[in-house]
Each structure stands twice: as C-alpha cells, then as structure tokens.
C-alpha cells in the first residue's frame, strides 16, 4: 500500500510546471488528486490522463485563483467528489515583474489575490472537512528570502506574506495535528523559467552549488515528504530548494 493511499489532495494551479509535478507525485504515492486550472484546460486534462494511466484517480476543476468564490467552490466540489481534503497544496501563483513606478494598483492587487489570498481562502475551505493530522503546504519562493535584482518588489512581497501566513497557521492548527509548511523553490526548470532561457546564466551564477536549475520533480518530492506521515513532526518550517542561491 502506498503511503498516501486513502488520502484526498487538492493542488491549486496543477495544470503545468511545479503544480503538475506535485499532482503526479501525490497520485503516485496513492492520493486521489484534484487540480485547478484557469485557461489551460487541455494541459489540466493531460495531467489527469497521465495520473489515470498510472492507475491513479484525479479530477480537474476550472477555478480562477484570483476569485475567492471560485476557489471556495472548487475546494467544496473536490471534497464532495473525492472525500474530505487531507492534503492541500497552495501552488497557484503569478510572477509579476517591473519597477515600482511601472506597477499599477490593479497589478499589485491581482498578485496578492492569487499568490496570497487564494491560499488563505483554499485553506479556510479545506479546513471545513480536513481531518486531524492533515497537511497544508504553501509554495513560496526563494525570492521571499533574498531578492536577487530589481523589478521583483511585488512578487517577493507576496511570497514573504505566504511564508509568514504559513507559520502563523501552523501555530493555529497545531493542536489538531495539522502541519503547515512552506516550500521555497529557487530556479526551477519549467516553461515559465526554462533552464536554457535568457536569464538562466545569471541565476546559476548566484548558486553556491553549481548544479543548475532544479527540476519540478525535486520540488514535488519535498512536497510528497511533507504530505506523508513521516513528516508529522515538521510544521511551521520553510524548505528552500535553490542550490544555495540564498545561502
């Protein structure tokens, strides 16, 4: 029996990149998985198909993480279809860039709505059914720990907020045995930031371990561990996967 057999997981933004890798990892470990997507229906369906072809169970739900009503509804729908949510991974996010003088209020509000509020709303919704001993994992960013250059003010602020919210929620939910942790990916090879992209060399140059970009699977493996019974004593923690770029 796999270590997550009988568990239900909900992954926001699970149609591609790190989110898709997390969904596949949790499914491979035995969980039934719900993922959300906004416009990438075909990509979400491909993730579901890949999980099902390996004997797992998965569903895709369209939900805009910028809309709290849609997020709440998606979590509720997943709980009806899969059962109480045991594992919540708040992964959905946007990567706004630009100097402060070029950033308008709408861009600021959207970044905080998706990167911060959606995790708050999803957590609140999941906790309506989450049993004691559940798991909540936020996907942050190494840029919450150290800003490597200009133009990252809004993004870094959102991910710093996520990390502190995770710590506070760990205190709140500790009596129920629910662990809450943050995973901070650094440079990770995805379509949003490919390892052969125009900014890759400068990112690798900041690493103390010149292993290069992490794979999405490496991030997913850490999430898989934090989702397991073996990580029952790990809460309020931040796990950084960036080859020492913030060391």
Active site residues: 155
Helix-, strand-, coil-residue percentages of the chain, each rounded to 5: 45, 15, 40
Q: What is the DSSP letter of 193?
A: B
| Angstrom distance (rounded) from CA 220 to CA 160 | 21
Residue 51: closest CA among 93, 110, 9, 12: 9
Contact status, residue 120 vs residue 40, Cβ threshold 8 Å: no
Element (H, E) at 201: helix 200-205
Dihedral sign from CA coordinates of 134, 14, 149, 245: positive
Contact status, residue 213 vs residue 189, Cβ threshold 8 Å: yes
| Angstrom distance (rounded) from CA 225 to CA 81 | 25
Residue 206: closest CA among 241, 242, 239: 242
Q: What is the DSSP letter of 87?
A: E
Q: What is the CA radius of gyration of the chain?
A: 17
């Amino acid at each position: 029996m796999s270590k997550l057999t009988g568990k239900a997981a909900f992954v926001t933004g699970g149609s591609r990149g790190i989110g898709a890798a997390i969904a596949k990892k949790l499914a491979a470990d035995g969980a039934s998985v719900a993922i959300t997507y906004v416009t990438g229906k075909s990509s979400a369906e491909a993730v579901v198909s890949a999980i099902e072809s390996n004997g797992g169970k998965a569903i895709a739900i369209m939900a805009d993480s910028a809309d709290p009503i849609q997020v709440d509804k998606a979590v509720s729908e997943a709980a009806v279809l899969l059962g109480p949510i045991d594992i919540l991974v708040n992964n959905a996010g946007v990567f706004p860039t630009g100097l402060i003088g070029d950033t308008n209020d709408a861009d600021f509000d959207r970044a905080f709505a998706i990167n911060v509020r959606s995790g708050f709303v999803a957590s609140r919704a999941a906790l309506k059914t989450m049993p004691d001993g559940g798991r909540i994992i936020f996907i942050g960013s190494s840029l919450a720990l150290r800003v490597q250059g200009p133009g990252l003010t809004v993004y870094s602020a959102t991910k710093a907020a996520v990390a502190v919210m995770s710590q506070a929620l760990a205190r709140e939910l500790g009596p129920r045995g629910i662990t809450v942790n943050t995973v901070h990916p650094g440079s990770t090879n995805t379509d949003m930031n490919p390892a052969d992209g125009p900014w890759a060399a400068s990112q690798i140059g900041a690493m103390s371990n010149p292993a290069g970009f992490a794979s999405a699977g490496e991030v997913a493996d850490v999430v898989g561990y934090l989702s397991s019974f073996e990580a029952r004593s790990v809460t309020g923690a931040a796990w950084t996967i960036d080859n020492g770029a913030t060391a």
